[in-house]
């Protein structure tokens, strides 16, 4: 379904005569850093907003951009509907880059000067968060089962900050060969990274609204994510 998403309460210009909605989650106190939270193919839905809220609870300003705004502004859908795939396929690299710059520009403008920023994403958003690490001056990125990362490894040498990758051993979309290629590229470029394989978990294991949810893997991944962000955001903000 495509419906108005009142959660997208902020709009930014993307430099190509389009505007994009942002879901903004603010911490209780003064934000010390910021995080871009990048959606799956189901849009800036309840799950993505809940992740942004959890990031805000850690003390960071979180922003989830509506990256389908060119084909389906405000799009959000349920996990039994794959209609969002066509919107993901319609995205162009230049457009995604424009969206990332616009969202990051708003984020940095809402933070103290020089505050560090990171990107975190899931599936297609995991790949976009990975790409954002090279495109933007981020201090870190986190990719949950980032589909297509192994096909975008040319960006690895340009990555600005350390990366954290989460994989599911039962994920049929991301094979052991894909994981190995990513690891090899990061090693070859001398980049700092952590990669974590939950062998019994499937694609989408972090989302408690999906059949593939794995509570144990999700809990462990969140602890690691919070520690990773604290290391690379709080340390740089100090």
123 is catalytic: yes
What does the alpha-carbon distance between residue 104 and residue 117 come to, in Å, rounded to a whole number?
8
Q: Is 168 exposed, middle or buried (0-12, 13-18, 19+ CB in 10 A)?
A: buried
Sheet containing 117-122: which strands, arranged edge to edge? 10-13, 19-25, 61-65, 34-38, 117-122, 140-144, 163-168, 193-198
Which of the following is catalytic: 203, 207, 214, 232?
Answer: 203
The one catalytic residue in 171, 202, 214, 232 is 171
Per-residue CA distances from 17 to 7, 12, 13, 65, 99 (Å): 22, 11, 7, 16, 12
Strand 19-25 to strand 61-65: parallel, antiparallel, or no bridges (unpaired)?
A: antiparallel
Q: Which of 123, 178, 202, 207 is catalytic?
A: 123
Calpha distance 222→227 (Å, rounded): 8
203 is catalytic: yes
62 — phi, psi (to 5°)?
Answer: -115, 140
Secondary structure of 180-218 in HEC code, one letter for each residue: HHHHHHHHHCCCCEEEEEECCCCCCCCCCCCCCCCHHHH
**227 part of the active site:** no
Count Cβ atoms within 10 A of the Cβ of residue 17 and give its class: 0-12 exposed, 13-18 middle, 19 or more buried: exposed
Residues tagged active-site? 123, 171, 203
């Amino acid at each position: 379904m495509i419906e108005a998403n009142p959660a997208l309460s902020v709009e930014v210009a993307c430099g190509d005569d389009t505007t994009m909605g942002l879901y903004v989650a603010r911490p209780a106190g003064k934000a010390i850093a910021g995080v871009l939270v990048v959606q799956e193919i189901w849009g800036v839905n309840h799950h993505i907003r809940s992740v942004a809220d959890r990031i805000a609870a850690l003390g960071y300003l979180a922003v989830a951009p509506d990256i389908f705004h060119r084909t389906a502004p405000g799009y959000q859908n349920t996990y039994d509907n794959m209609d969002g795939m066509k919107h993901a396929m319609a995205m162009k690299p230049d457009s995604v880059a424009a969206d990332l710059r616009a969202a990051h520009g708003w984020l940095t403008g809402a933070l103290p000067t020089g505050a560090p920023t990171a990107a975190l994403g899931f599936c297609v958003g995991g790949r976009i968060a990975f790409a954002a690490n090279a495109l933007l001056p981020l201090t870190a990125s986190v990719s949950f089962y980032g589909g297509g990362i192994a096909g975008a490894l040319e960006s690895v040498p340009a990555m600005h900050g350390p990366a954290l990758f989460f994989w599911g051993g039962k994920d049929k979309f991301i094979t052991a060969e894909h994981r190995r290629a990513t690891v090899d590229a990061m090693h070859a470029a001398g980049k700092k990274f952590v990669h974590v394989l939950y062998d019994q978990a499937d694609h989408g294991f972090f989302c408690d609204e999906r059949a593939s949810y794995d509570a144990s893997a999700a809990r462990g991944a969140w602890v690691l994510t919070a520690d990773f962000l604290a290391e690379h955001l709080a340390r740089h903000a100090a």
